[in-house]
Amino acid sequence: MRDGRHSSGAPHGRLLIAATAVVKDGGLGNDISDLPAAGAAPEWMSEKAISIGQYFAASGMYTVFGVTWPTSGSKELTNYLFKDMEKIYGGRWDFAEDPLEMARKMIAHIDLKRRELGIDKARERVLFDMADRRELA
């Protein structure tokens, strides 16, 4: 623990900490599931990779898996992971065999979340000088 928050040496842990900070400190959305972000596991590597992906999905992150899906033998479990889980946790799994299709799904998800947050339109940029920045603090 550092500053009252979980500290993880693993990159996936730091990514979720950063996503939480974007929501909490950055004020973008109310939950990780609101963010225009996605996780990806391009192919099966190990059971550990699936557990990391599940950590992302259960934390509210849309997570795409590729090549083969390990629960295809269970329609109920697969439906839960791909549909029902999102109603509970905000995140869910998705699947695409083709890497380009994975990328398209992730981009579509990011675009959807940007629209929902109202950050999908170009806006006039405002440049702040140092005095303006001090006033923000």
Mind listing the pLDDT tens digit for each residue in 27-60? 899 999 999 999 888 877 777 878 888 899 999 9
pLDDT band with cut points at 50, 70 and 90 for residue 10: low
Q: Please, which residues have CB within 8 angstroms of residue 15's CB and are 6 or more apart in sequence?
A: 39
Residue range 30-136, CATH number: 3.40.50.2030
**Separation of alpha carbons 73 and 125, rounded Å:** 51
List the single range of 1-15, 47-61, 72-86 with lowest mean pLDDT: 1-15
The percentage of the chain sitting over the pLDDT mark of 90, rounded to a whole number, equals: 49
Q: Is the pLDDT of residue 2 over 80?
A: no
The percentage of the chain sitting over the pLDDT mark of 70, rounded to a whole number, equals: 93
| 5, 17 contact by CB (below 8 A) | yes
How confident is the model at residue 114, as a pLDDT?
96
CA within 13 Å, CB half, 96: 13
- Listed by start position, the domains of the chain span 30-136
**Separation of alpha carbons 95 and 105, rounded Å:** 9
Helical segments of the chain, H only:
11-24, 47-58, 75-79, 85-89, 99-117, 130-136
How confident is the model at residue 30, as a pLDDT?
94
Q: Is the pLDDT of residue 109 over 90?
A: yes
Q: Is the pLDDT of residue 4 over 70?
A: no
